[in-house]
């Protein structure tokens, strides 16, 4: 299925692309890394590079005492909610939503997810895993001058993106400016369509641990997965394709490249999607959510405040469960994430909690 406009993509078949030994851990493919590898330094969600993380904080309680998930039934329903990485401000509300999902049934369920640092890992073996922009920015097809200019843009605009003292109205035009300049620099590199697959193979891209169960569960039960990304659609598609999980139920909205007849990048297709406009304004005319009007149970997965609006275009939402991956500046951002997301996963490189919830919902009663 292909939905208009052209940057909304679905696949009716899973293209063959064996990835070898690394597939189960999300490698594309790479040597395996030890489970006790040191935590990686972070990179922002925009067009990419590395920043150091702050130490993980322990100041506020996890699910302990009266707020513990199991005492409200959530832990019994989904044992993964007892993981040390999980924080929930309102466990009873979470329990009620999950129970409602199960009662409503699989026919009403859909999943809406960010990609970079949500479905992909944040880091591994002491190194930051790249975003889809970063895969391009640091690849062999980018000149040294181009890499420097892309990094300069990052150092200028990233502090603006995360500045808590700036309003959304102030940030949005600056994010458009950043993405536009980054895309223009990429166009200047004369990237060939035929290079994309090899660029991804040579990268350190990794889907989160448990990705295969996640994609397989949704596909087996015909649950739509809508990936809404401010990254580079061509790159993220190739990551999913090389992991052999680009199934027919997967639809993607992202920033897609447009190539000449000779296969050379000429521009990026519109509308431009950045961190803070992932909402219904860029979906107008697609009719995607209208086609799924009966899918009124929503699981939303994200890693930023900008991801919270991804389901704004869904009509007649009955229940929505928002799960946030808190990858960076954990102590500083914890309060805001707990205010915004129903479940917060701190420095958790897996999809264990999401898979546990899906197993409970999709199990026949």
So which residues are the catalytic ones?
114, 116
User: Tokens 């940057």 map to which residue?
Assistant: 7
The structure tokens listed for 186 are 């990429």
**29, 38 in Cβ contact below 8 A?**
no
Range 67-72, long-range pairs (CB < 8 A, 24+ positions): 67/91, 69/94, 69/95
What is the pairing mode between strands 8-10 and 250-255?
A: antiparallel
Q: Of all helices (H) and strands (E), which one includes residue 265?
A: strand 265-268
What is the widest separation between alpha-carbon atoms in the chain?
63
45-78 burial code (b ≥16 CB/10 A, e <16): bbbbbbeebeeeeeeeebbeeebbbbbbbbbebb
Smallest CA-to-CA distance from 363 within 193, 109, 127, 94 is with 109
Residue 108: partners with Cβ closer than 8 Å, 6 or more residues away: 294, 295, 296, 297, 318
């Amino acid at each position: 299925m292909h939905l208009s406009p052209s940057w909304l993509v679905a696949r009716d078949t899973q293209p063959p692309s064996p990835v070898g030994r690394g597939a189960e851990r999300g490698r594309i493919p790479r040597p395996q890394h030890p489970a006790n590898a040191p935590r990686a330094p972070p990179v922002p969600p925009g067009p990419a590079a590395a920043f150091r993380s702050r130490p993980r904080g322990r100041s506020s309680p996890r699910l302990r005492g009266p707020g513990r998930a199991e005492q409200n039934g959530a832990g019994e329903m989904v044992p993964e909610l007892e993981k040390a990485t999980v924080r929930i401000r309102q466990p009873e509300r979470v329990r009620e939503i999950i129970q409602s999902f199960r009662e409503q049934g699989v026919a009403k369920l859909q999943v809406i997810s960010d990609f970079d640092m949500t479905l992909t890992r944040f880091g591994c073996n002491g190194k930051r895993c790249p975003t889809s922009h970063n895969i391009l920015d640091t690849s062999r097809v980018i000149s040294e001058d181009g890499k420097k200019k892309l990094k300069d843009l990052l150092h200028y605009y990233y502090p603006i993106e995360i500045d808590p003292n700036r309003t959304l109205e102030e940030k949005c035009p600056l994010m458009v400016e950043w993405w536009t300049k980054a895309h223009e620099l990429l166009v200047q590199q004369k990237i060939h369509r035929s290079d994309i697959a090899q660029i991804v193979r040579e990268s350190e891209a990794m889907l989160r641990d448990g990705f295969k169960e996640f994609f397989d569960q949704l596909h087996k039960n015909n649950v739509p997965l809508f990936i809404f990304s401010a990254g580079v659609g061509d790159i993220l598609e190739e990551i999913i394709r090389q992991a052999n999980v680009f199934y027919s139920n997967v639809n993607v909205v992202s920033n897609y490249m447009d190539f000449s007849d000779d296969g050379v990048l000429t521009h990026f297709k519109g509308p431009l999607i950045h961190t803070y406009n992932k909402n219904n304004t860029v979906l107008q005319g697609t009719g995607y959510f209208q086609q799924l009007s009966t899918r009124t149970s929503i699981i939303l997965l994200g890693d930023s405040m900008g991801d919270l609006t991804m389901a704004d275009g869904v009509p007649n939402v009955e229940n929505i469960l928002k799960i946030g991956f808190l990858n960076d500046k954990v102590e500083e951002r914890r309060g805001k994430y707990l205010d915004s997301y129903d479940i917060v996963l701190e420095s958790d490189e897996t999809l264990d909690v999401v898979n546990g919830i899906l197993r409970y919902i999709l199990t026949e009663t």
